[in-house]
C-alpha cells in the first residue's frame, strides 16, 4: 500500500513537469472510480469496502495562460463494518471546480487540480441500537489528478485529495 502511494505521487509529480492539454472548453467527461482512505479515517477497519464514486465535468471557461476551468458534480459512497455489528455508510454529494493546465503539448495527457464543496452524510446501523445519522456536515476539499486518454473518448485517471477517498483510480468517458 505504501509503495502504491509513493509510485502514484512520483508519477503525478513527473507528470506535472510535462503537462499537456487534452481538456478544452466544451469538453464533457463522466468519471467512475474507486478509492482508499477518506475523511473518516477507516483504513484500520478490517471490513472496510473500497469507496466508489462518479463525477461529471464540463469545460466552462478557457483562460489565458493556458488552461480551462471545469465545473461539475460528484457523488461518492463507502461503507464499513465493525465486529460488533456496527455498519457505517458515508455518502458525499458535491460540486467541483478544476483548473486543467495545458502549457505543454503532450497528446493524451490532462493534469488538473481543484476544489470541491460537499455535503457529507454519515449514517449507521447497529444491531443493538436504532439506526440513524451522525455528524452530517458541509466540507471544502482540494484535489489534484492526472488523466491519460487511451482512445479519443476513453481514458484512465489517478487522483489525490480529500473526500470519500484520499487516493482514487478510475475510468473516464468523454461525452
So what's the pLDDT on residue 39? 58
Which CATH number applies to 2-174? Answer: 2.40.160.20
The overall pTM is greater than 0.95: no
Judge whether 20 and 102 are in contact, CB under 8 Å.
yes
Spatial CA neighbour of 171 closest among 53, 60, 7: 53
pLDDT(7) > 70: no
Q: Is 5 a residue whose pLDDT tops 70?
A: no
pLDDT digits (tens, 9 = 90+) for 37-86: 765 554 455 566 789 999 999 999 999 878 999 999 999 998 877 766 67
Burial of residue 33, with CB atoms counted within 10 A of its CB: 0-12 exposed, 13-18 middle, 19 or more buried: buried
| Torsion over CA: 39, 54, 138, 27 (sign) | positive
Cα–Cα distance for residue pair 11/57, rounded to 1 Å: 23
Q: Is the pLDDT of residue 20 over 50?
A: no
136-154 pLDDT, tens digit per residue, is 889 999 999 999 999 999 9
Instruction: Dump pLDDT digits (tens) for 81-110.
Output: 776 667 788 899 999 999 999 887 788 999
Average pLDDT score, the chain: 81
What pLDDT band is residue 124 in, cutting at 50, 70 and 90? confident
Amino acid at each position: 500500500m505504501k509503495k502504491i502511494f509513493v509510485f502514484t505521487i512520483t508519477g503525478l509529480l513527473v507528470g506535472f513537469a510535462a503537462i499537456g492539454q487534452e481538456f478544452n472548453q466544451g469538453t464533457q467527461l463522466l468519471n467512475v472510480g474507486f478509492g482508499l482512505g477518506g475523511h473518516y479515517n477507516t483504513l484500520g477497519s478490517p471490513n472496510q469496502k473500497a469507496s466508489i464514486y462518479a463525477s461529471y465535468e464540463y469545460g466552462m471557461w478557457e483562460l489565458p495562460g493556458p488552461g480551462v476551468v471545469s465545473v461539475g458534480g460528484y457523488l461518492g459512497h463507502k461503507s464499513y463494518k465493525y465486529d460488533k455489528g456496527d455498519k457505517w455508510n458515508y455518502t458525499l454529494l458535491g460540486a467541483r471546480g478544476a483548473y486543467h493546465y495545458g502549457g505543454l503539448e503532450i497528446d493524451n495527457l490532462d493534469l488538473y487540480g481543484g476544489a470541491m464543496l460537499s455535503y457529507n452524510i454519515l449514517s449507521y446501523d447497529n444491531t443493538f441500537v436504532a439506526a440513524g445519522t451522525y455528524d452530517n456536515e458541509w466540507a471544502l476539499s482540494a484535489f489534484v489528478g492526472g488523466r491519460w486518454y487511451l482512445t479519443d473518448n476513453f481514458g484512465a485517471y489517478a487522483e489525490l485529495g480529500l473526500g470519500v477517498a484520499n487516493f482514487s483510480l478510475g475510468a473516464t468517458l468523454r461525452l
